Structure 1
């Protein structure tokens, strides 16, 4: 199946924790950017990766993911143009089409209804917190009430697959506040949650505030307790913790040993180390044996495409060892782990021939389990995931 990432780098305001390739106060460049994005997609038609051979990856639906930035700043007409340009790469009639939406920019039911009519069938809303003072500190442009209203509007116009993003380990956040957030969103009856521990990036205003002592973040023990509380409460509510940072509601079509039906198909392609194309300023693609990154500045990106050039800033050659390592440390993030069949199909080598000694060591430490089909993280291994993944780098 084919997978395509589309980067929309515009925001009304940059959040204090964000180091993504995003730009505020650049709305006047959106029209030219959409023109360039459509032109780049025409260039990519000659670079469509082959269909994956592994059973798990072959079962995925094709996918298009509008990420950002804030894709919901685009008009429905602009999104329609982009999808028309993408149709030669991804069969959109069968595709999961995801769009990241900021509750502060979703313009009510009419906008959401137009998105749904265009074929967008999955929304990912960046809520981040239900505590209004925290939202203001983060630079978010919505309130908790507006987040709830945007979610309910999306449900009312027919979106059956909605993800909500939240961050824990935020400045001033304690376990009681995090518990209240989890209990509240569980009542919303959401399909899917992505819960991320705050990472302080050096280039961000939030990093400067914390290092200067103006804000304090929870220590590692408290942040770990927040993660464990999420596992406890979401598990009690019936959600499946199918990936280290992601939970999903069970679905009647779910099959044992397979990713959940309501999981993001595009993200599953990443975790299964599938090939995917990417377009847009700063977008990263992966077509073995290389990955590539586009030019980051909006005007540089537009100028390159207008000159008839692919806007690539750099390419990174990948070896067979890179492919094997990435297949392991990405796949182990999933609760189904890495199957022997998937590893062999993706790399052309038996898993035990490449990592036999490593698997034995990690198993003896209680960090992974191994059966006749696959390798998985244990509960302890999930808590120490980065230590496990380092064994494959």
Structure 2
């Protein structure tokens, strides 16, 4: 599972917007063969000490942001389902004590099938969790072994079934595609098996062979085949076809939801709203209103857990780096994240970040964006700027031209 931040929802315009905290549990029982995230496998964890630091850092950063209301909380990792329900409850209590946490706020926990017994899930629900994101990754035992996952396909099915009973309509499954040696037909079979199992939300991620991971070394050494690019594109197209036909909305590049089960927390991130990163290596974006700030900051917490805990104990938080984002940098983030969604970037949202320079002024004039619109990759209309399916499928190749056109407009002047 990948690292997450503590996220808060809101914008940089006047007033005190709601936020979405997202605490991170950095520990795993073992490192997966494809993982290069900030995770740690240790003989023992002093959970009481980590809990105290998560609580204190959340309180400190919420105070610094002067947040009044929280819209979602996301427990990421690492493997946060290895933490006890008591730790989850303590963090939620701290968030509720520092800001308003509405009864209906989305509270998500990332979980591995190997640490989601029925009793554990029941404990997390009692602690305040109301949405579960399960790292299934595959429903094939051979693929799971190659990925270095702890669980079996049978354990994954059992975990999802238990989660659906406790979190009806709020259970999400993560799947990987593009594994070495995986065929399009095998991938289609995995999808069909998932549809027989899953609830209302599926996240699909193309496997990335990260430098320094065991799986990347096996592929580079020739022990495993590298999947060709045209096959990866075909797998993505196949997934979209299968899921849309089954009633899912493809609401973000990697995410599909049915029956309106979109992730509130993730939407706040893609809409470039404010969020607080709590825990080792967490990232955040928020305005430091308690110190008189009016500009959005990018913050990164100290990576290594022991060093992070020392900093939290001494100064209340473990922020390792912080930088004020320029108006141009904020628009670049808004463009890069917003175009990942099927809704794209609305004129209103763009105007919050760029009151002087409209979407039409930047992307409606002759240039790269106009050419992309004429070719069917991009749409600019009364709803805002967005990519149709053809553009979403090749978004990474479109962004450089769009960013270049934005940079030439000098939004900071």
Deviation of 1:365 after TM superposition, in Å, equals: 2.8
Counterpart of 1:341?
Answer: 348
Q: Tell me the SS of whatever aligns to 1:104.
A: helix
Counterpart selection for 2:384 from 360, 365, 374: 374
Counterpart selection for 1:131 from 136, 140, 146: 140
Residues 121-175 of structure 1 show CA distances to partners (whole Å, capped at 9, x for unaligned) of 1100000011101111111100111011001111223443011000100112111
How many Å separate the matches in 2 of 1:365 and 1:158?
43
Q: TM-score, normalised by structure 2?
A: 0.87
Q: Any residues of structure 2 matched to 1:288-299 within 5 Å, and which?
A: 288-299=295-306
Q: Tell me the SS of whatever aligns to 2:273.
A: coil
Counterpart selection for 2:374 from 334, 343, 364: 364
Counterpart selection for 1:145 from 154, 160, 169: 154
Deviation of 1:380 after TM superposition, in Å, equals: 1.8
Counterpart selection for 1:23 from 12, 31, 40: 40
Deviation of 1:23 after TM superposition, in Å, equals: 0.5
Counterpart of 2:272?
Answer: 273
Counterpart selection for 1:312 from 306, 319, 341: 319
Q: How many residues align?
A: 374
8 Å CA contact 2:53, 2:313 repeated in 1: yes
Counterpart of 1:259?
Answer: none
Q: TM-score, normalised by structure 1?
A: 0.91
Q: Tell me the SS of whatever aligns to 1:120.
A: coil
Is 2:103 the partner of 1:93? yes
Deviation of 1:189 after TM superposition, in Å, equals: 4.4
Residues 311-353 of structure 1 show CA distances to partners (whole Å, capped at 9, x for unaligned) of 1111232111111121122111111111112211233232122
Residues 254-281 of structure 1 show CA distances to partners (whole Å, capped at 9, x for unaligned) of xxxxxxxx11111101110001111100
Q: Any residues of structure 2 matched to 1:19-98 within 5 Å, and which?
A: 19-48=36-65, 62-87=71-96, 88-89=98-99, 91-98=101-108
Counterpart of 2:398?
Answer: 388
> Against the structure 1 CA distance between its residues 144 and 70, is the aligned structure 2 distance closer, same or farther, given a 3 Å change threshold?
same
Deviation of 1:283 after TM superposition, in Å, equals: 0.4
> Against the structure 1 CA distance between its residues 326 and 113, is the aligned structure 2 distance closer, same or farther, given a 3 Å change threshold?
same
> Against the structure 1 CA distance between its residues 167 and 158, is the aligned structure 2 distance closer, same or farther, given a 3 Å change threshold?
closer
Deviation of 1:48 after TM superposition, in Å, equals: 2.4
Counterpart of 2:230?
Answer: 221
Counterpart selection for 2:331 from 292, 307, 324: 324
Q: Any residues of structure 2 matched to 1:213-292 within 5 Å, and which?
A: 213-251=222-260, 262-287=261-286, 288-292=295-299
C-alpha RMSD of matched pairs (Å):
1.8
> Against the structure 1 CA distance between its residues 206 and 30, is the aligned structure 2 distance closer, same or farther, given a 3 Å change threshold?
farther
Q: Any residues of structure 2 matched to 1:2-13 within 5 Å, and which?
A: 2-13=19-30
8 Å CA contact 2:89, 2:128 repeated in 1: no
> Against the structure 1 CA distance between its residues 344 and 51, is the aligned structure 2 distance closer, same or farther, given a 3 Å change threshold?
farther
Q: Tell me the SS of whatever aligns to 1:316.
A: strand
How many Å separate the matches in 1 of 2:324 and 2:371?
30
Counterpart selection for 1:351 from 355, 359, 363: 359
How many Å separate the matches in 2 of 1:169 and 1:158?
30
